[in-house]
Each structure stands twice: as structure tokens, then as C-alpha cells.
Structure 1
């Protein structure tokens, strides 16, 4: 198990970046000074966890990994009094407040203690963060601090922030926890309506492979840094993809068709939604990748290549059952000119999306 406490290097880096001043904007006391021993100094500053390090500590988040708890992204430099203060009232001193303190303090240090270059770099950093102003503070800190494996940490947090509500909606939809107005389909339109949904379903399935390939490329080749804008762009595309999947699933669920078509429609329900839900595992996989990066166990100095697979697949039994239903509907209908739907199913049998992490 990884120790959630900060390393000495993280503490030293944090203190220096805070210029050894308390990051509480209402305090800013100097946290280091002379000691009676000429070879020592007196330090009253401490590296405080923003999200708690252990169960029972203030602002603790159960789903957070110990690795993330121990990162500099989760830290703030405070004097002992302010450290005690924030752990006395976690509701007043929320994580968002502490992230804001640190951001404000870094601006203060750059403008009051830094040189002109420091100020220019700080302003350039702020311009980069404009696109993330409405995102969770931890995302901004990852971009600023760039810990080892930041590309994967950023992707994981972006996907959680952007997509967790959508995965929750997919689950709510599957459980029948909300309603929408029904779309009424007449008997003479029902067969064609089902075929149109099949064509749409095939088109929805296709982008998954390309999206994950683009995400992998956005992290950069071995030895190269990732592309921040591309990571952000692809994660937003994944969000839009999931929104389209939900819209499709809602249309399949909230429809009123003649009784003889109900089974075919039922077979289409949650077909692509259940596959898209598999994308929710990506942040957890990336957390594991970061753990390996920050705690490497390389042999012969050869960097490992870690390969993960997400498989979109439809059981053979489903295809057989659906084709039988379509055949029965075609035989019992008056639509002799309807096109066969078999071709629409071929692309749905198995779609394999490869995610390859290289470092």
C-alpha cells in the first residue's frame, strides 16, 4: 500500500514555491527563521493535505487513491496555526477554499516576490487555465504542478468530471428512474423505424475505437510530454459521444410501437449503452498506470509497455434472436420492399478498442 503522506521532496518543493510563507491570504506569516543554534533554522510551516490523508481526517474522499493524496497537487503550505484552523472546521475551510488559497498565494508570490520573468510565466499559466475555469480545482492543480504521469492523472480527472454524471444517467435510465415523453410510431412506420435505429446504432459504435486511439496519442510518445489541449479536446469528444449514446438509448426506451414490434425494440434497449458504460473503467486504469510510473520496477532499464483492452461486443445469441424476430416481422408484415437489416448487424458483433499506455 502506498503511503498517503507527503515525501520530503514534495514538502521541500511546496515550501519553496510558497516562499516559506503561509498560504492563507489572511495570514501570510513567514514560516522559517533563525535558531539559537547557528547551524539550524526554526520552521513553523507545514505541508497540509487538502483532501484528507486517512479515513477520519478532514475532507477525506474515499474514492481518491493514496498516491493522489500524497501528490503535491493535494497540498498547501500553511503555518501551524492555520493548519490547525482548517482542520477544526472542514465545512468553512472546504477543499475548494484551500485550492483557491494556494492559487491566490502563488499569484501573490509571483507578483510581489518574483522577477519580471516569474510574473510573465504566471500570467502565461493563467491564460492556459482559462479553458478550465469551470472545472474542478484538482484539474487545474494537475495542469500547474505537472506531477509524474500528469497526462494520465489529468485524463482520469477530466473523464471523472465530464463523464461521471453521464454514466450515472445511463444507470438511472437502465433502472427506469426517470421518464420522457413517448414517441408514437404507427404500424406502417414501425419496421422502417427499427431499421433506421439499426443504422444509427452502427454509426454510434464506430467512433469508439478512433476516440481511444486519439486519447492514447494525446499522451505523447515515450520520452515526450503530452499535449494538454489534445487531451482536453479528446475527453470532451468522449463526453459528446456518451451524450449521443444516452440520447439514442432514450429514444429506444421512450417509444410506443404496435405490440408485435415491442420485442424487437426491447432487444435494442441498452445495447450500446451497456457497452459505452465500459468506458467508465478508464480513470481507474489510469490511476493504476500513474502508480506504476511513480513507483517504477524496471528490469534492465527497459521501460514497460502496458496494454489494456476495452471490448465492445454483442453476444451471438442476441444476433440470432434479433434476426429471428426481424424475419418474423417481415413475414407477417405487408412491407415486401423493406431492405434486409442483416448488414447493419455485422459491425455490431465485436468492436475492440485498444488502449496502449507507453512510458
Structure 2
């Protein structure tokens, strides 16, 4: 007979088994930090805090379900998810919701979603599935087809316009191609070609406001109250935090509303002001730990699909954190990229949790 203690132990093990304990604790640390941060950034109001908690609970349920599902089963959904994402992006083009000059959202009745967030998952899944399908005989044209599959959603997202998300989604697909074994000579040739194309991209491939963001990065003081305002205010906030920070709820730039989009894209500036350099080092260390753990899972992945997908998802998550911190710190142009697990936003939270869930699922596959 199994006593009550053993029965509870078995139930707990079945509930906990899908979780990669290292990724889970890293995620939990960032989430707890984000609750305090969001409360401060939102003017000590519980509105967005309650919504984020609800988003996180729903996302955690999905994380648990995905983490316990074998990656090869999830690979069957790669093509349908990609197709759904393309349809939603086309829907945004015709019936999207415009906010701050960009049409990125789609109303689905119960709320609005940002289809580009779906493509964060769909693009690397599809490219990894495609290479897994042709694993025994990968030829040069398979790489060309993969590039085309990446370019289609990227082009639709650029139309919104959303250069930041389009660039990072393109990177997520390219990471898969890299981990699939793209020769270095091709990579170097592509980099040289991209550099040679920069004048054409600058003159014909970028909107005026995008060119202004790059110029503002070089000298934000040229337009202090216009294009340079965001960068200058965020840099002032981070710099004023010093080593130890001003303290929780004590950020003057934050609470006097000098920091724009303080709960979403520029929430790292709030963090830097209130928790200082020490807090920044802690947050960066946790993201770096997730990167190292993700690459370890990639190294130990049992199949080509798992290896390429895990590597791409890990690098994508790290790139989103790096780009957000870089733009807020004034070392990268301002783009609409949230800080993973910290910024407010239901779709963004969901996509990051799915990335972590798939990494946990691949880790489970390795263990079994």
C-alpha cells in the first residue's frame, strides 16, 4: 500500500518533472523583480500589476503543458503555426489597430494581439522542422528556401512598420540556419554583402523616422525635445541611479513622468534609476545565466531539430534582452522591443514563456 506521504510525493514529482529547475528559478527571479518594478513604473497603481499577474499565471499553465510535451510532437505544429501567423500579419495589414503611428495589433474580439509575437516562435520552429525533414540530404537550395521562409513574415512586419521586431525575427531564423551547419564562408560572404548593401538600405529601405533614430543615436543632443528625448531621459535616469540606486519608489525621473513608455520599452531605465549599477549587474547576470543554460541544453540536445531550435530560441531571448538594454542605455537605436519577462504586455509575456517552455521540453527530451 502506498501511504499518503508517498502518494503526495509522486503527485509533486509529476507536477515538477517537466520543469528545468535552473531555467525556472531564473525566470522566477526576474518575474519577482518585475512586479516591484512595474508597480513603481505605473505610478504605484495596481492596474497593470494585476494584469501582468493574470498574464503570467495563464502563461505558466501553458508553460507547464508545453514543457511536458515531447519536442517532436510540437514540431508537427510548426507549419500550421507559421501559416496562422502569416494570415494574422496579413489581417493586421487590412484591419489592424494603429497606435503611435504603427499598425501592429489585431482585435480578435476578447482582446487584441500582436501577431509578430507569434512569429518569434513560429519562424525558428518552422526552419528547424524544415532542416530536420531534410537532415539526411541538406543541399544549398535548402538554405535558399529557408531564407525565403524567413523573409515573408519579416517583409510583412516591416510594412507595419516595426524594424526592431522584424530584425530580431529574421535573426531567430538565421540562428537556426547557423546551428544547422551553414558554412562559414557563406556567413562571411553574407556579412560582406550586407555591409556593401548598407548605403542602399539607408537610402531606399528605411523610413525617415528610422534614419532619424540612427542619427539620434550618434548625437541625441541635436534634438533634445524631439527624436533625442527618449534616449536622453533614459540615460539620465540610469546615470542618476549611481552604484546603489535611489531606492524603490524613489526614482525622480520615473515619478515625474520624464521617462516615456516606462512600463514597456523603457522599463529598464526605471530599474537602473531605482536599483543602480548593482541592480543592473544582477539582472544582466540572470539573463546571462539563462543564455548559458540554454546553450548547454543546445549542446546536449539529442536531435537536429532540438539542437537548432534550442540554440535559436536561446539566442533570440538573449538578443531581445540585449537590444532593449542597449537602446535604453544609448548604445543602440530606439526600437520597439520589450524587455523579456519584465516589460508589461500579455502577448510578449506569453511568447517568452513559450520559448522557455520549449527549452524545458528539449531538456526533458535529453534526460529521457
TM over 0.5: no
Greater percentage in strand: 1
Which is higher, the Rg of structure 1 or of structure 2? 1
Normalising by structure 2, we get a TM-score of 0.22
Higher relative contact order (CA 8 A, sep 6+): 2
Higher helix residue share? 2
